[in-house]
Amino acid sequence: MRTLVLLGILAATTTGCVELTYFPDPATGTKVQATVTSREPGPVLYQRTGVRLVTNPTALVRRSRRTYAVYAPLCAAPCSVEIDPGSPLYVSGDGITPSPLFNLDPKQGAVSLDVRPGSWAQSVLGLTGVFGGWAAFGVGTYLAFGGALVDHREWIVPGVVTLGAGVVAMIAGAILLTTGSTSVRVAPRTTGALSPGTPPW
């Protein structure tokens, strides 16, 4: 189904049925010197450059419009770069989960961005633990309480064990999700900036 949708969008684009309009973010006229550091290599700093409007005037029901934010890479940590604080930023990279969007204070002339990169693999394990634990919790609850209600006492012990395993799996999954997320700590910088790093492209 996804392939058919992508083929439809491609066909509409090549035949001129889809209109693409780009609206760049306005410049604020100020710059903030940002120094990006990371304990591990790989994080790349991205900033929104504008918004792309996709319009399909040939939609069957009504004129279809979708907007998509456009982001561009600025530099790969460790690096130092001047940033217009008017648009949001985030950090990501190969195998690194995207950080939440954040903005810089235009009143700060220089800031330090301390990145703690998260892992996609760890996040997937965390989700698996949470959902698997939730399923085990439900099965364990059914066996433990259902066995007591319908007088199947041989269900109670396996039910309690399964319920407990489910709780442990959910807690472990939540910890993996938390530690597997990418975080960025923004702090004022008073010392000299790093030399510009290697561009991410």
Say if CB 169 and CB 129 are below 8 A apart: yes
pLDDT in tens, 31-43: 899 999 988 888 9
Q: How confident is the model at residue 15 (pLDDT cuts 50, 70, 90)?
A: very low
Higher-pLDDT residue of 12, 189: 189
147: its two tokens: 């066995």
Query: CB of 31 within 8 A of CB of 111?
Result: no
- Listed in sequence order, the residues at least 6 apart from 4 whose beta carbon sits closer than 8 Å to its beta carbon are none
By three-state DSSP, how is residue 199 classified?
coil
Which secondary structure element, helix H or strand E, spans residue 142, and what is its range? helix 120-149
User: What are the distances in angstroms from CA 141 to CA 10, 111, 174?
Assistant: 49, 51, 20
Q: How many angstroms separate the CA atoms of 167 and 137, rounded? A: 6
Per residue in 94-144, pLDDT (tens digit) is: 888 888 899 998 888 899 999 988 876 766 777 787 788 788 878 878 777
Q: Write out pLDDT tens, residues 47-90.
A: 998 888 877 666 554 556 788 888 999 999 899 999 988 889 99
